[in-house]
Amino acid sequence: MVNLFKHAKACTTAFAVAAASFMTAGHATAADDTITIGYAVALTGPNATGAGISTVPNYRLWVDQVNGEGGIEMPDGSRKMIEVVEYDDRSSNEDLVRAIERLASQDKVDLILPPWGTGANLAIAPLMARFGYPQLAVTAVTDKAPEFAARWDRSFWMLGGGHDYATGLVDVLAQARDAGTINNKIAAVSVADGFGIDLIKGARPAFEEAGFELVYDESYPLGTSDFAAIMSEAQASGADSFVAFSYPPGSFGMTKTAQAMGFNPKVFYISVGGAFPIYPGIADGKADGVMAIGGVDGTSDSVKAYFDAHTTFVGNPPDSWASAVTFASLEMLEQAIGRVGLDHGDLAADLSSGTFDTVIGQVKLEDNQLRDLWTVGQWQNGAFVGVGPADKAGAAAPVIPKPEW
C-alpha cells in the first residue's frame, strides 16, 4: 500500500509537470505586423459535416485571399498578415467553451471567429461578451436573435430565425396559388429536432393566415432513413405542394424516395441540404424546380466571382445558403478593421452601425441582425438562385409547377 502511494505520488508529480508545461505552451504572441485570428469549430464528430461545408472552407478561403493581397489593411494604410489558430471542438460544447477560453486568455488572439451551429454560438456568447470580442454568429438560426443581440451587445446574428424562413415560403406559395398554379392544400413534414420544430411552428399559423389548408402535417424522428410511408401519405393527401422542414439526410432521402415512387408535386420544397452543391448529384441531375431554404442572387457578378474562387480554392462550389453569408461576415470584419482598427469596442460599434460592400451586396445590420435575407431558393438551370422574398433585388421568378422528375 505504501508502495502504491509512492507510485501515485510520482504519477501525480509527473502529471502536474506535464500539465504545467502544457498550460504555458501557448502560441507565440503575435509580432506587430501580424493579426492573430482564432477559431474553434467541429472538425470531428456529428457537426463536422455542416462546419465542413459552410464554415471552415470560407474561413480558410478568406485568410488565403487576404494574405494573398498582403494582409488586412489597417486604418493607417499599413497591412498586417493574418495568423490563424485553429482548434477542433469535437462537436462538444464543453470542449468548445474551453477552446474559446484558451484563445482569449492563453493565445490572446486579436479576433475570434464563431463556431458552426446555433447551440455552439449560444454556448460561447457569454464568454465572448465577457472577454469583449465581437461575435459574428452566422450559422445560428434562431427566432430569439433580437433578445440575444440585446443581451450581448457585441453579438451579431446573420441568418435569421425559423419564422423568417417559414413565412418567406408561405409568401412564395401564396403568390402561386393566387395565380391559380397550385391548389390551396399543403402537405408538410418536419424533422423532430430544434430546427424542424421552429420552422413548422412558424409555418402553421402563416399557412392558415394565407388561407392554405394543411392537409398533412407529420413529424419524423432525426435519423429516419425510410420515407416511403410519409411520402405516399403526402401524395395521397391531394396537396399540390410538398413541404419538408428537414436536415440534409432527410432532404436527400425524400428526394430519392419521391423520384423512386414517381411523386411529382407541383412544389417540392426541402430545407437544409437543398442548397448544397452536391444536391443535383443526389437528385440524379433532375434538381431543376426543387425549392429549398436559402439562396443567392443569381444575377450578381460578385456572387459568381465568389463561387469561382471557392471552387478553385476548396475544390467544390460553396452551398448557396450560409456560405455566402459567412464569407460576407468576414468581409465585414475586414472592412471594419480597415476603418477603426482592432479595438473590440470600436469594431463592434462599426459592425453595428456601418455599411459594408460584400459578396452578398451592400450590408447594413439592423439591431445587430442581418434582416435582408434570402428565404427561399430554387434550382434553375443547374444553379440554386433566390426566389423569395420576391421583392429582393436579383430575385428570380419561381418556376411552378416543377418539371416532372
Interface with other proteins by CB under 8 A: which residues? 3-4, 7-8, 11-12, 15, 18-19, 22-23, 43-46, 86-95, 97-99, 101-102, 104-106, 118-119, 122-123, 125-126, 131, 192-194, 197-198, 201, 219, 221-222
Minimum separation from the CB atom of position 375 to other proteins (A) = 20
Q: Which is nearer to other proteins, 190 or 378 (CB)?
A: 190
Q: Which is nearer to other proteins, 89 or 331 (CB)?
A: 89
Minimum separation from the CB atom of position 122 to other proteins (A) = 4
- Helix, strand or coil for residue 312? helix
Minimum separation from the CB atom of position 63 to other proteins (A) = 17
**b/e for 44-53, b at 16 or more Cβ within 10 A?**
eeebbebbeb
Minimum separation from the CB atom of position 1 to other proteins (A) = 11
Beta bridge partners of 269: 243, 291
d(CA 22, CA 37): 21
Closest CA relative to residue 222, chosen from 155, 156, 272, 154: 272
Beta bridge partners of 111: 37
Q: Which is nearer to other proteins, 195 or 307 (CB)?
A: 195
d(CA 63, CA 306): 14
Q: Which is nearer to other proteins, 102 or 154 (CB)?
A: 102
Cβ contact 108:29 at 8 Å: yes
d(CA 189, CA 232): 12
Q: Which is nearer to other proteins, 44 or 78 (CB)?
A: 44
Q: Which is nearer to other proteins, 17 or 236 (CB)?
A: 17
Minimum separation from the CB atom of position 79 to other proteins (A) = 28
Closest CA relative to residue 334, chosen from 71, 29, 54: 71
Q: Which is nearer to other proteins, 5 or 179 (CB)?
A: 5
Nine cell digits for residue 291: 425549392
Minimum separation from the CB atom of position 124 to other proteins (A) = 8
Q: What is the DSSP letter of 54?
A: I
Minimum separation from the CB atom of position 160 to other proteins (A) = 16
Cβ contact 329:158 at 8 Å: yes
Minimum separation from the CB atom of position 323 to other proteins (A) = 21
Beta bridge partners of 377: 292, 386
d(CA 395, CA 392): 6
Q: Which is nearer to other proteins, 221 or 262 (CB)?
A: 221
Which amino acid is located at 87 in the chain? Answer: Y
